[in-house]
Amino acid sequence: MFEQEIRTLTGQTIERIKELGNEFTLDALSSVSIHPAVIRYISSELDYMIFRERQVLLHQSRFDYSDRELFPLFLKIGEIVKAKKVLQVTDVQRLVERAIAMNANYILKPNFTLLKFLFSDAVVRTEEEIKLRLNHIYEYEYIKRVLLTALEMKKKDRYNMSEFKQLIGKMQTELLQSYRSYVIENALDTIHNFFNFYQTEVTAISPVGIEIFLLEKEQYGEIEKLKRYFGGSLPEMAETSLLKDILFGSVPVKEDAVAQIVMKVSSVEEDAGIIEQRSSEIVFDMPKSIASSPSIAPVPPKPEEPVTTFMDVAEGDDKLEIESLDAFLNDAGKGSDMQFEALDPEVELTSAADIFSSAPAPEPEPEETYSAKAGDIFSYFTESEKNKIIKQVFNEDHMDFVNTVENVASCQTHGEAEELLGMVLGAYSIELTDKLAVMIFERLKTYYRDIGK
């Protein structure tokens, strides 16, 4: 399920954005009536691009810019740069697809998605990277605030995935022990508001969505309530208010009862395989759920279109997996013939830009030759080569690829260009002896030879 909902949300969002024309600023994009989670994601993705470009520039500096006190100053600089950036509608469309796919995953399975999104294929992340990635998050604001507060308390430069998995698990335990009803009701409201954002007249959601959420939280008693009420199998749709009554009875959860949450956040240290935990308290206000915007008519699926399971809900929480973002991006724009394939639950992530990457083995590519044009470095690569570089080096980030190649081509000498390219590849953990890296260096050498530098 949910593949049609994601297609519909994506299509409706892109149609509204197209009203701005082919080029626009982030400020103009913010004026369009689209889900605020999409705006947050796009804005944060630009922040992350600025961060990565800054890392390349700082690697060339003779000075040390790693002091924690500089982080907020870099963010202020980024805000100025981001505000003046002219966005291309084609690039924004791709970011919209990512934003909706990521948020759909996160809303239904927040812990799993957040951990994968924060670390992807990286074993360790810097504090600055983690904070920038956390800024992509809009829904379940309380989760982000707990983690950001924990980072401020720990004051560490780097974190590994194991530490964060422990931290998220402890956070979930404390939340459910003290505010289980709020967490579940908030999830129901969030699922309703996200998937019905352009259809405010709709008052129902798929009960499978909240079942997935409850599975991750190991709330098997709540799942049993739903199945017992519906006679063993969940219906395709059910009124959100009915689901609340089933789970909580006729007494609604009062938000003022959870005006504050006191979290015991683990400070995790690993020493010879032994994990030591120290508890600290974090106090913060519980945020309110988002409001819906005016609706537009949804795009109905064709009756003859085959339905493929979007989420494989297994009894074991670790087996629960969500649709591949790669599959969604690869199929986006192909119309009603788009199909979604089920994923192997054991597939590991391989790309920092992808959320759930499960790309099939590449097919043999036809022979291509590039046609170099004087002064145009992009013409020194075939289309398939450019696509491969974007995917394998720049994590599907087309804008980052274009900006980097233009910077490399604008160097005064071939030596400077090679040095810059080497730092960029190093920042993306690409070995200089890698076959793709060697090819890029060769084309760069040819380009500079042709322009006489």
Return the sign of the alpha-carbon dihedral for residues 48, 49, 54, 59.
positive
Provide φ and ψ at 25, rounded to 5°: -100, 170
Q: Do residue 101 and residue 191 come from a single domain?
A: yes
Q: Which domain holds residue 161?
A: 3-296+303-337
Q: Do residue 262 and residue 165 come from a single domain?
A: yes
Count how many domains the chain has.
2
Q: Which residues, 6+ apart, have CB-to-CB distance to 95 below 8 Å?
A: 41, 42, 45
C-alpha span between 75 and 181 (Å, rounded): 37
In a domain, 128, yes or no: yes
Q: Do residue 307 and residue 395 come from a single domain?
A: no
Burial class (CB in 10 A: 0-12, 13-18, 19+), 409: middle
Q: Which two tokens stand for residue 395?
A: 């994590």
In a domain, 213, yes or no: yes
Q: What is the per-residue DSSP string for 194-249?
A: HHTTT-TT--EE-HHHHHHHHHHTT-HHHHHHHHHHTTTS--S-EEHHHHHHHHHT
Q: Do residue 308 and residue 406 come from a single domain?
A: no
In a domain, 365, yes or no: no
Element at 319 (helix H, strand E): none
C-alpha span between 386 and 392 (Å, rounded): 10
Give the distance, in angstroms, between the CA of residue 440 and the centroid of all CA atoms in the same chain: 28
pLDDT tens by residue, the chain, 453 residues: 588 889 999 999 999 999 999 999 999 999 999 999 999 999 999 998 888 888 887 777 788 877 778 878 888 888 898 888 999 999 999 999 999 999 999 999 999 999 989 987 677 888 888 999 999 999 999 898 888 888 888 878 888 888 888 888 888 888 888 888 999 999 999 999 999 999 889 999 999 999 999 999 999 999 999 999 998 889 999 999 999 999 987 434 334 333 333 333 433 333 323 233 333 333 333 333 323 333 223 333 333 333 322 233 223 333 333 333 333 333 333 332 323 233 233 333 222 233 333 333 444 444 556 667 767 888 899 988 888 898 888 877 777 788 788 888 888 888 888 888 887 887 777 877 788 888 998 898 898 888 887
Q: Do residue 247 and residue 327 come from a single domain?
A: yes
